[in-house]
Chain A
Amino acid sequence: MANVELSNINKTFGAIETIPDLTLSVPDGSFTVLVGPSGCGKSTLLRMVAGLETPSRGRISIGGRDVTREEPSKRGISMVFQSYALFPHMTVEQNIDFGLRLSKTPLEERQKRVDAAAEILHLKPLLKRKPAALSGGQRQRVAIGRSIVRNPDVFLFDEPLSNLDAALRNQMRVELADLHERLKSTMIYVTHDQVEAMTLADQIVVMNAGRIEQVGAPMELYNRPQTLFVAGFIGSPRMNLISGEAAAKHGAKTIGVRPEHIELGEHGPWKGRLRVAEHLGNETIAYIDSELGELIVRINGDHKMKPGEVLQFQFLQEHLHRFDESGRRIHREQTLVTGSATKLLHP
């Protein structure tokens, strides 16, 4: 196990500066998730930690050891790729054993470690199969098995679940969380899926255009986003961001309110027309065309709403987020929403 320190990392590809200047600390034993939209530099950052890319400037240390110019195999890391990167001509067993075989680990030890990994990942019946004969989830487990056997200090995951279907992704998410609990190793995980980030991470690093927007625990990012970007990126459905007069009344350029912090009520100060209602069983997501723009509202239970229906609503004042012109959070007590007190509508 080891911590990972990135100090003043810069990466340019020709004339394009992918990462201008980035400093990040990944604590020992943490599950840190790098999240951000496509092209924000998160995979490049991970590849620099892996040693597959060299930083143009800056320093990377793992467990206190400077590894900036070190070979990938000498960094004490292992990596799981988005495409799994299994060797198609080798069996599952040969794939898992590959690194141990190269490092000339004694045969008995190799067999012991491969068996242990296969046991943890339920791969025992598949050991003699080739990757082509495996499902997506099984391939992913083999890729993880290959990284486990080498007992690395740091596990790196590059969007490992993005090729799986939704059900399998949920299952693998739980398995990854279990694995982290069991191994207690440092894990750095790249994804563009904020649900994966929220469910897996101890620490989330939100990236945008090669810069870190915010680092923190999942609920800290959810409850106190420091920038408009984080506010819009973390949370599903996304936070409603409202500018104009309504925001100005709160002394902000933009205000943000999460879909579950909007209440429908016949005395609500705002009006809107229901465009679409998504009934998910345990909740309903309503898309409303309102005088404040398009809003997303999360309502518990089974509402009998029809498209075109006019709804009134209010914001829960204690959950309003306010942002200034530069998109930064305004840190002071929130003011009250103007408008009358409302009585909630019940389904």
Chain B
Amino acid sequence: MSNATSIRASKSNSILADLMSSKGQAVLLMLPPAFLLFTLFVALPLFDAAYYSLFKWNGYGTPTDFVWLGNFRQVLDHGIFWQSVRNTLIVLAVSLFIQLPLALGLALMVYEKTPANTLFRLVFFLPYILAEIASGLIWSFVFDGNAGVASALFKSLGMDPVFILADRHWAFLAITLVVVWKYFGFHMMIFVAALQSVPKELLEAARLEGAKRWEVVRFVQVPLIWAAIGVSAFFAVVGSLQLFDVVIPLTNGGPSNSTHTIVTYLYTFGLTRTRIGFGSAVGVLLFIAAVGVSIFYQRQTNKRSK
């Protein structure tokens, strides 16, 4: 037997030995169900979408009209798509730079375990429990220029009624307000859990060293909950990229398509107009963006843990 052959044989023996070990047996037992589910519900739809994105197809019958990257070209040439990207980026920026600091500030106020704080935490968390569609509807009544709270407010100020959701300049701002209201409680709860896990002695030690309240936050609490802030930011970014069901009941992408996010754009111009190939192309672009964010997040997390 030649050297190469014997090395190959010993290698395959060791792989077999690994598989027969208890750890190997566990892998053989546990992996197939997960692998099957992942393939059926994640990988296959993804490949399907990527495949359909290369066809001009209305969703009926077999796609035959192969257009290569024509759908992608159409998407990238469409002004409303770029408007929806801009809107998505605005939601993302508001989530990161307004929603998260607000959630952290509130978490710092209510993280200690007292009955009053428990009540406040519950109240702040309630919007998150509410269904997105319901939240959208509630706020559409609030913003109603004829009968809503906003209308009453403007009237009390002696102003003419303003239809916020019908105004190109104000409608998306209203949506971002609802997004912040809806999700800040979720991020606050992540921060509350992280803050409660910071040992009390560290805060006391900082106080003894002369740290003022904000210095304790800056030098001790925030660095120690940085991992939770990272997770929260990741959810905020992914949530912004997927924003859909708050927008539909509020504006349905209007007025004049000015309040679309990427997903409402996909829904409106892909699904409702039965342009499945076009919609798939938008989906693929969105998927690439989400993967990019995930890789960036993972790298940052790895860098910090080193």
Contact among B205, B210, B211, B224 for A85, CB-based, below 8 A = B205
Contact A98 B219 (CB under 8 A): yes
Interface residues of B in 235-259 (CB under 8 A from A): none
Provide the residues of chain B in CB contact with A87, threshold 8 Å: 202, 205-206, 219-220, 223-224
Known: A87-B220, A89-B223, A102-B215. A79 touches B205 (CB 8 A): yes
Contact with A along B180-205 (1 / 0, CB 8 A): 00000000000000000001011011
Interface SS of chain B: helix
Interface residues of A in 176-194 (CB under 8 A from B): none
Contact among B199, B215, B219 for A83, CB-based, below 8 A = B199
Give complex CA distance A78, B209 in Å: 8
Contact among A52, A78, A103 for B204, CB-based, below 8 A = A52
- A99 contacts chain B at the CB level, 8 A cutoff: yes
Contact A99 B201 (CB under 8 A): no
Contact B224 A99 (CB under 8 A): no
- B299 contacts chain A at the CB level, 8 A cutoff: no
Contact A78 B220 (CB under 8 A): no
Provide the residues of chain B in CB contact with A146, threshold 8 Å: 205, 209
CB distance from A256 to the nearest CB of B (A): 38
Known: A83-B199, A85-B199, A87-B202. A52 touches B220 (CB 8 A): no
Contact A73 B202 (CB under 8 A): no
Contact among A50, A82, A83, A88 for B208, CB-based, below 8 A = A50
Bin the interface of chain B by size: 10 to 19
Interface SS of chain A: loop
- B169 contacts chain A at the CB level, 8 A cutoff: no
CB distance from B186 to the nearest CB of A (A): 25
Give complex CA distance A98, B211 in Å: 9
CB distance from A264 to the nearest CB of B (A): 49
- B73 contacts chain A at the CB level, 8 A cutoff: no
Interface residues of A in 70-88 (CB under 8 A from B): 71-73, 77-79, 81-83, 85, 87-88
Kindly report which residue of chain A lies nearest to residue B208, judged by CB atoms.
Answer: A72
Contact A99 B204 (CB under 8 A): no
Interface residues of B in 218-235 (CB under 8 A from A): 219-220, 223-224, 226
Give complex CA distance A88, B227 in Å: 14
Contact among A71, A85, A102 for B201, CB-based, below 8 A = A85
- B207 contacts chain A at the CB level, 8 A cutoff: yes
Contact B210 A102 (CB under 8 A): yes
Give complex CA distance A148, B202 in Å: 18
Known: A88-B224, A89-B223. A52 touches B202 (CB 8 A): no
Contact A103 B210 (CB under 8 A): yes
Contact A83 B224 (CB under 8 A): no
Contact B208 A98 (CB under 8 A): no
Provide the residues of chain A in CB contact with B208, threshold 8 Å: 50-52, 72-73, 77-79, 99
Give complex CA distance A57, B204 in Å: 22
Provide the residues of chain A in CB contact with B205, threshold 8 Å: 79, 81, 85, 87, 146
Provide the residues of chain B in CB contact with A98, threshold 8 Å: 206, 209, 219
Contact A73 B199 (CB under 8 A): no
Interface residues of A in 83-121 (CB under 8 A from B): 83, 85, 87-89, 98-99, 102-103
Interface residues of B in 249-274 (CB under 8 A from A): none
Provide the residues of chain B in CB contact with A150, threshold 8 Å: 209
Give complex CA distance A66, B211 in Å: 22
Contact among A52, A81, A82, A99 for B210, CB-based, below 8 A = A99
Contact B204 A102 (CB under 8 A): no
Provide the residues of chain B in CB contact with A52, threshold 8 Å: 204, 207-208
B contact set with A: CB distance below 8 Å: 199, 201-202, 204-211, 215, 219-220, 223-224, 226
Q: A72-B208, A73-B211 are in contact. List 7 more A-B contacts (CB 8 A).
A: A52-B204, A72-B207, A81-B201, A85-B201, A98-B209, A99-B210, A102-B211
Q: Which 5 A-B pairs have the closest CB atoms?
A: A99-B209, A73-B210, A85-B205, A85-B201, A89-B223
Ordered by A's residue number, 5 sampled pairs between the chains whose C-beta atoms are within 8 Å are: A52-B207, A72-B207, A98-B219, A103-B210, A146-B209
